[in-house]
Amino acid sequence: MSAPKRKALGRGLAALIPGAPSPTSTAVAPALARARDVGGDGLRTVAIEDVFPSTAQPRKTFDDERLEELAASIRTQGIIQPLVVRVRAGGGYELIAGERRWRAAQKAGLHEVPAVIRDVAPAQAFEMALVENLQREDLNPIEEAAGYERLVAEFGYTQEKLADRVGKERSTVANSLRLLRLPESVRGLVAQGRLSMGHARALLGLESTAAMEKLARRTIAQDLSVRKVEELVRRDRAPGDGAAGAKPGATAPTANARDLGMRLSRALGTRVDVNEAAPGRGHIAIHYHSLDQLDALLDRIVAPR
């Protein structure tokens, strides 16, 4: 009877770094030994104690049980996919991608590991680490959002460029970044998986930190669905919104205001109220029913930079 097929450990280095070698089995070990002294970028074996984790690693949590499973696989099969590292200023190598494999290799008792050495700048190294984790779906939503924020804040990425580089829709990146507006306690619940991404996005519709924290606790205690949380958020906001988008006691809109509202509604694909406070003065209320719809509206209203 043939041995059961081992579960793949990832999408492969070639999916992350074009032009990188694609190892096929543990038989590459002799070749790695011969390549040990190759200079510049290349595949080689390095001492495991010469590899150091990056302080910029976007992933902060590692599941011990899954690490043990990977270590058991490495003991029998070796490391199929090399680590990706760069030369470290203080000596040795800094991990770009593969910290989970490196940790599991330590548990498995390996003294050397295969590695691809890349000559890249810190921004590119961080981007490569983020992309690998995203491809493997190893980041929780808060880690993912924090990674995006760092690329935007420290390295000058626009949301459009960031979405293109990580292979996501811009609205997906924008919605992820919004999670960082949640109170720290609620972000912790999302990171732990106790609240879903849908729950978190619904909670962002509330105005105050206290209200978000209160509804987050209620959501967990009562195991509320995303739809129920959205309903509760709408109910919380309703008293200030008014049933028809105007303040109580306001005069009926003029024919001109109604016409403008209808034209804007058709252009934006959602209800728009034009409320006149005085001749030539007033405000416009644009209605939306989800953060996805709001993001789409912003794309239509705000011209690309």
Cβ atoms within 10 A of the Cβ of 209, count? 14
Rama region for 241: left / alpha / beta (φ>0; ψ in -120 to 50; rest): alpha
Q: What is the DSSP string of 88-110?
A: -TTSSEEEEE-HHHHHHHHHHT-
Q: How far is CA 301 from CA 96, 233, 296, 297, in A?
A: 39, 25, 9, 6
> Is residue 12 over pLDDT 50?
no
> Is residue 214 over pLDDT 90?
yes
Cβ–Cβ < 8 Å for 150, 39: no
Confidence bin at 138 (pLDDT 50/70/90): low
* Options 99, 112, 143, 230, the catalytic residue: 99
> Is residue 215 over pLDDT 50?
yes
Average predicted confidence (pLDDT) for the chain: 75
Contacts by 251-254, CB closer than 8 A, 24 or more apart: 251/276
Q: Indicate the domain borders of the chain.
A: 13-121, 188-241, 255-294
Structure tokens at 188: 């912790």
| Largest Cα span, the chain | 86
CA distance 146 to 48: 29
> Is residue 292 over pLDDT 60?
yes
Model pLDDT, residue 136: 62
CA distance 295 to 174: 8
Q: From 185, 171, 178, 38, select the one nearest 115 (Cα to Cα).
A: 38
What is the identity of the amino acid at 223?
A: D
Model pLDDT, residue 213: 93
CA distance 196 to 158: 26
CATH topology assigned to domain 13-121: 3.90.1530
Model pLDDT, residue 219: 95
Confidence (pTM): 0.51
CA distance 28 to 46: 14
Query: Which has more confidence, 5 or 82?
Result: 82
Give yes or no: 99 in active site.
yes
Digit-coded pLDDT (tens) for 224-257: 999 999 999 888 876 544 444 444 444 566 767 7
Confidence bin at 212 (pLDDT 50/70/90): very high
Structure tokens at 131: 């992309």
With pLDDT > 90 as the criterion, what percentage of the chain qualifies? 12
Using CA of residue 280, residue 282, residue 286, residue 291, what is the dihedral sign? positive
Model pLDDT, residue 249: 47
